[in-house]
Amino acid sequence: MTEKIETNETKKNPPQENKEAQKVSKKDAEIKTTEKESKQANPNSIEEKKTQKEKKPKPLKRKILDFVIDIILNAVVIIIAVFTVRFFLVAPFQVDGPSMCDTLNSLQRYNPQTQQKEETCYRGSADYIIVNKFIFQNFFGWNYSEPDRGDVIVFHPPIASGSKEYYIKRVIGVAGDTVILKNGKVYLKNSIYPNGRQLREEYLNNYNSGNTHLRGRSDGEFQVPEGKYFVMGDNRNSSQDSRHWTDGENKPAPFLPKENIEGRAWIILWPFENAQIINRMESEEFFDNDQLKT
C-alpha cells in the first residue's frame, strides 16, 4: 500500500527543476511566436533592409556613361529609320528647270499688259516634290508595280553613266510599244492597238500640244525594247529627253533602262498653291480615239 501512495505523490508533486525548465521553454516559444507574427505583419521589412544595404548610388562617371550610351543607341535607331525611309520608301526632291512645265515648275505671274495672272514656266529651282521609291523597288525579285505610260518618273540619265544627277520626265512608251512622232503628234503601236493610236496628252499646254518634234526633223519612230522606256518632258520644246539622247559615239540612244529609275513623282509639296497628289493615269485617259493615218 505504501508503495502505491508514494507513486501517486510523485505524479502530483514534480521536482522544482522540471518546473523551471518548462517555464523557460514556454518563454522561448513565446519569443518565437512573436518573431513569426512580426514577419507576417511586415513580410518585406527584412528584405527591404537587405536591399537598402545592398543598393548603393551609382558613381557620376557611370551615370554619364549610361547617358552617352543611351544617346548613341537612340541616334543609331533614328539613322537606320531615316536611311530606310530615304532610300527604300520615299524621298524629297526639288525640280530644277522648265522641262516638265506646266505639270511642274509652273508659276502664276501677273502680266501688266493683260492685267491678269498667267502660267509661267520657271527656269530655276521651284517645286518641292515627294518621290515614291517603294512602288518600283525590287525586293528579292518582287516589286509592287512597274513604270507605266503616263507616269512622271525620276531617274539617272542613261547618257551619263554613273551620273549622280536626276532627271524627271513622263513615260510615253513601255516595252513592246512603238512610239511614232508624226506631224507634231504622238502615236503608239502595240498588241492592243496594232494600227496605232494617238495619245490624248491633256497634260500639255497650248504651246506644246501638237508640237512634238525631233531635232532637225519632224517625224520619227522608236521601237521600245524589253526592260527599257521611252520618256519625254511635258514642255516638249524645252526638254532634253528620249528624242535627243545620244551615246558616246553620238549615235541615237533613246531608251531609258529600268535600273536607272529612282521612283515615281507622287506629291507636290511646295509652292502651297500647287500642292497636290500626282495621280497615275488610266489607259482611257492616255489614249485618244484617233488612229494613226498612214
* Average pLDDT over the chain, rounded to an integer: 78
The C-alpha angle 223, 227, 230, rounded to 5 degrees, equals: 45
50-64, 81-95, 132-146, 171-185: least confidently modelled range: 50-64
Which pLDDT does position 71 carry in this prediction?
A: 86
Confidence label for 262 from pLDDT (cuts 50, 70 and 90) = very high
| Cell matching residue 34 | 512573436
Interatomic CA distance for residues 24 and 22, integer angstroms: 5
pTM of the entire predicted model: 0.69
DSSP, res 147: -
8-17, 89-98, 270-279: least confidently modelled range: 8-17
> What type of residue is 194?
P
Which pLDDT does position 3 carry in this prediction?
A: 36
Half-sphere exposure of 128 (CA within 13 A, CB side): 7
Interatomic CA distance for residues 65 and 62, integer angstroms: 5
DSSP, res 241: S
The C-alpha angle 29, 31, 37, rounded to 5 degrees, equals: 100
Nearest to 264 by CA among 282, 274, 278, 281: 278
Q: What percent of the chain has pLDDT over 70?
A: 71
Q: Are 237 and 211 in contact (CB under 8 A)?
A: yes
Which is more confidently placed, 253 or 80?
A: 253
Sign of CA dihedral 129, 276, 274, 242: positive
Instruction: Give the contacts of 232 (CB within 8 A, at least 6 positions apart).
Output: 169, 170, 172, 186, 212, 239, 241, 242, 243
Interatomic CA distance for residues 137 and 144, integer angstroms: 7
